[in-house]
Amino acid sequence: MEEYKRIGRELVAHGAILDYYQDTIQVSNGNVAKWDFIKHNGAAAIVPVDEKGRLIMVKQFRNALDRYTLEIPAGGLQTPEEPTRDAAIRELEEETGYRAEHVEWLLTIRTTVAYCNEKIDIYLATGLTAGKQHLDEDEYVQVGAYTIDELTEKIYGGEIEDSKTVAAILAYRDKYLCSRK
């Protein structure tokens, strides 16, 4: 197995939610390569499940795709040290208005391991109580409730492509619903 050694890292651009670096990497045969690296502070997401077993989802515009997407509530950490559970609970209330009586860790994903260190901890929320959204000034989020079958169909039909949402829905289905059959 070849060994890789970072011999340099240069900040190319500092952004609002991430930093873009160019790394200089040396491999064991002596070759040197330039690799892109995106540093992300991390994020948290949550799978809210109502008393009927439906998942509460958010529909919002995503600039990178130039379209609306259907996703689980999620957001970036306010600081790298912020506990992800706290961030997930905050995002649940901000984006959907719901509060949860019970929150538990579901899984952790790394979104783009080839060039980014983004880590998203995903939680499950139950015992929901409806409230009021607390959106940012530039946010418009529609909230809806869906069955697991509807969402699974949307995943395999190509309507839901967001990696955190796909992973979260399938993990919830497999861990909490398939094990009951």
User: Both 47 and 30 in a single domain?
Assistant: no
> Which domain, by its residues, includes 11?
4-39
Q: pTM of the entire structure? A: 0.92
CB 49 within 8 A of CB 33: no
Asked if 16 and 47 sit in the same domain, the reply is no
Residues 165, 100 share a domain: yes
Report the catalytic residues: 137
Residue 35 and residue 47 in one domain: no
In terms of domains, do 141 and 164 share one? Answer: yes
How confident is the prediction along the chain (181 residues), in pLDDT tens digits per residue?
Answer: 568 999 999 999 999 889 999 999 999 888 999 999 999 999 999 999 999 999 999 999 999 999 999 999 999 999 989 999 999 999 999 999 999 999 999 999 999 999 999 999 999 999 999 988 887 788 788 999 999 999 999 999 999 999 999 999 999 999 988 866 5
Are 51 and 126 members of one domain? yes
CB-count exposure of residue 24 (10 Å: 0-12, 13-18, 19+): middle
Q: Specify the number of domains making up the chain.
A: 2
